[in-house]
Amino acid sequence: MEGDDQNSDPVSEILSSIEEAALDSDPSSDSDSPRDVWWLRWLKYVSIIAMPAIILGLGFLFEDYIGQYHADTHYQRDMAQRHVEHDTIGSMKFRFWMGVGVGGSLGMIYVVRCIVRRVDP
């Protein structure tokens, strides 16, 4: 039995425990607590979709500006500065909407999961 302890992989143990916890999750475990009113639930769902969308949208929008100040090398800083100099309103809008799409999609995946499982966020 001591040889089994030496051959055990901590990463696989952690992954198996996460897998067991995910499979054992029971949405009816909180059945004693009352659910929120419908408008508060939907307000939570909208905020779960809107907040990541806005945060990622702004992150994508100012990506070059942030990279200009957080660059480690002179080359990276010059590349970011050139991108900032040639930045147009159209490209900024595109990056913002890309971030909104990614953030909103991630939030929507979580909301659909909550609706399908009938659990509150």
Q: pLDDT, tens digit, for every residue of 62-88? A: 888 888 888 888 888 888 888 888 888
User: Domain coordinates of the chain in residue numbers?
Assistant: 35-117
* Ordered alpha helix ranges (H), 1-121: 2-7, 10-24, 38-61, 63-69, 74-85, 89-117
Between helix 38-61 and helix 89-117 the angle, nearest 10°, is: 150
Eight-state DSSP code of residue 86: T
Which pLDDT score, from 0 to 100, does residue 70 have? 82
pLDDT of residue 1: 47
Find, among 32, 99, 35, the residue nearest to 63 by Cα. 99
Handedness of CA 100, 105, 108, 109 (dihedral sign): negative
Nearest alpha-carbon partner for 63 in 96, 41, 37: 96
pLDDT of residue 102: 92
